[in-house]
Amino acid sequence: MRILHLIIIVLTQVESFHDCVQPRSVNRLPSGRRSDVNLAPPSGCNGGLCVGMRGGPHEGGASSYPAGNSSVGFTYVHSTMSVPNYPKKQDGITYFLWTDVFMGDESFGRMNQFVPQLLLGNVLSGSTGPPDYNPTYSTIDSYFFGAHYFFELFDVTVNDTVAKAAYGPLYPTSPGETLYTSFDQSIGSPGEGPVWTLTMGVVGDSSRISTLVVNKPYMGLGVDWPIPSSRWDELNYTNICINACYEIYGGIDSDHLPSSGGNYDIIIGRGRNSTFPWIGQWDQDEGKDSCFSSTIAEENNSFEQHVFWNISTQ
């Protein structure tokens, strides 16, 4: 059986890269919404839009930053986003509004996305937790947010890719509030490799902080694979890519879209001894026919880079 599993890994590992990988996944949507990703948007209008580094995965390139290590210091990503006004109509909508960090895969892994997010509508909103980490879905009619790790695995028992999820606690938020998201690495236990901590909260309110600690890739489900994956310092996790998105489904007209825009400040910090160059050009890399308009500005110094993304309704 081990030989069979090794053969399967070799034959199915075409999606496992050292470069960042973010394939579009229908599994983030409830089963009844999964056909929506293939629907043509209304003429001249597309509900969602994203910003990312020039030449990144959304543009078919390999631009990324090194994740860092204990010797040169870890790269971190911190961001803030304003909570937009509610849409006039909520029937049939799915909102995921987020900043994410994603990376490559190992072995049976097929997607690796740290994506704390703001939620509204019919959404992936939870997890069964250990040992299976299956995603759970619900319909919510007011904004909630939570730290979230979405990943996919190739399941040899069904010969298909399956979705998995881990979630921190969900908290309510309201239009006009500012949310912060952070992705931080720290030194793990001896022999265990680094640890990622994902945090999402409301600026100025210490009572609403969602935290998810991710000690191992795929929440440890890869430890016993024929070719194991058990540490974040394995080769395919040493590059990270960064995006922010209004990932919206069911935004069929302006009434089903947020009735205001929003502002992001994405902050990337280098480790104390890191010298990798900043990518100075960031693009709106999805949503060319969006019902929103956006502007992007970038600035940096020796230690940090800021990407300012301002979204306006048209």
Write out the H or E segment, with its range, that includes residue 7: helix 2-12
Q: Give how far Cα 176 sits from Cα of 84, 96, 129, 136, Å.
A: 6, 17, 32, 28
Note whether residue 98 is domain-resident: yes
Q: Is the pLDDT of residue 23 over 60?
A: no
Number of folded domains that form the chain: 1
Which residues constitute the domain of residue 213? 2-25+46-313
Query: What is the C-alpha separation between 145 and 82, in angstroms, rounded?
Result: 12
Is 31 within a domain? Answer: no
pLDDT confidence bin for 5, thresholds 50/70/90:
very low
- The whole-number pLDDT of residue 264 equals 98
Rounded Cα distance, 8 and 154, in Å: 9
pLDDT band at residue 14 under the 50/70/90 scheme: very low
Residue % of the chain over a pLDDT of 70: 84
What is residue 3's predicted lDDT score, i.e. its pLDDT?
A: 40
Q: What band does 21 get if pLDDT is binned at 50, 70 and 90? A: low
User: Quick one: pLDDT at residue 30?
Assistant: 65
Q: Which residues of 43-78 are buried (b: 16+ CB within 10 A; e: fewer)?
A: eebbbbbbbbbebbbbeebebbbebbbeeeebbbbb
Share of the chain above pLDDT 90, in %: 75
Is residue 25 very low, low, confident or very high in pLDDT (cuts 50, 70, 90)? Answer: low
Q: Is residue 239 domain-resident?
A: yes
Cα→Cα distances 299→4, 63, 177, 195, 283, Å: 51, 18, 25, 29, 14
Residue 94 has pLDDT above 70, yes or no: yes
For residue 275, is it within any domain? Answer: yes
Query: Which tokens in the block code for residue 242?
Result: 């960064």
For residue 211, tell me if it sits in a domain: yes
Question: What's the pLDDT tens digit per position in 48-66?
Answer: 889 999 998 888 888 999 9
Q: Is residue 308 part of a domain?
A: yes
- pLDDT per residue as tens digits for the range 189-239: 998 999 999 999 999 999 999 999 999 999 999 999 999 999 999 999 999
pTM passes above 0.85? yes
41 within some domain: no
Dump strand ranges (E) for the chain: 49-53, 65-66, 68-69, 73-74, 76-82, 94-102, 109-114, 117-127, 135-146, 148-155, 160-167, 171-172, 178-186, 195-202, 205-214, 239-249, 262-269, 282-286, 292-300, 304-313
What are 113-129's pLDDT values in tens digits? Answer: 999 999 999 999 999 99
38 assigned to some structural domain:
no
